């Protein structure tokens, strides 16, 4: 059972990594340059690996628990974006993060 949850966590982390690689590849002067940037290609590869991990996790975790857990990636993205790109982190974002945490906790608790 732990392998399914471990796969879910790895899938979430790979998805977050993919998101930041896509952001790094977004510096291309044209849309085709952005699509062909090595960071974008690697970001899409990480998304694919994330999907494979998620599919494995679904073998042992109810969808009603696994899917909301993926929203934890938003928390990581908000925190890393604030640290890496100096994106603002105001009270509304912090409140949103708290609501996400609360929702995931409540959904997982009922499983």
> Looking at per-residue confidence, does 65 or 11 come out higher?
11
Q: Please tell me the predicted confidence (pLDDT) of residue 111.
A: 60
pLDDT at 40 over 90: yes
Higher-pLDDT residue of 28 and 54 is: 54
Cα–Cα distance for residue pair 46/14, rounded to 1 Å? 6
Question: Domain-by-domain residue ranges, the chain?
Answer: 2-110
* Contact (Cβ atoms closer than 8 angstroms) between residue 15 and residue 46: yes
> DSSP labels for 31-87?
HHHHHHSHHHHHHHHHHHHHHHHHHHHTTTS-HHHHHHHHTHHHHHHHHHHHHHH--
Report helix angle 91-110 to 63-70, nearest 10. Answer: 160
For residues 46 and 38, what is the distance between their CA atoms, to the nearest angstrom?
12
The DSSP H or E segment spanning 1 is none
Q: What is the pLDDT of residues 77-99, one digit of tens each?
A: 999 999 999 999 999 999 998 99
Tens of pLDDT, residue by residue over 21-33, are: 999 999 888 999 9
The C-alpha atoms of residue 96 and residue 89 are separated, in whole angstroms, by: 11
Averaged over 68-78, what is the pLDDT? 90
Rounded mean pLDDT, 67-81: 90
pLDDT at 37: 95
Average pLDDT in the 21-50 region? 94
Range with top average pLDDT, 41-45, 64-68, 77-81, 106-110: 41-45
């Amino acid at each position: 059972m732990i392998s399914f949850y471990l796969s879910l966590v790895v899938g979430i982390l790979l998805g977050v990594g993919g998101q930041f690689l896509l952001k790094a590849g977004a510096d291309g002067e044209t849309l085709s340059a952005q699509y062909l940037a090595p960071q974008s290609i690697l970001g899409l590869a990480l998304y694919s690996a994330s999907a494979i991990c998620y599919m494995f996790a679904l073998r042992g975790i109810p969808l009603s628990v696994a899917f909301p857990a993926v929203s934890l990636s938003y928390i990581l993205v908000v925190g890393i974006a604030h640290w890496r790109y100096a994106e603002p982190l105001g009270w509304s974002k912090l409140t949103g993060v708290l609501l996400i945490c609360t929702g995931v906790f409540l959904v997982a608790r009922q499983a």
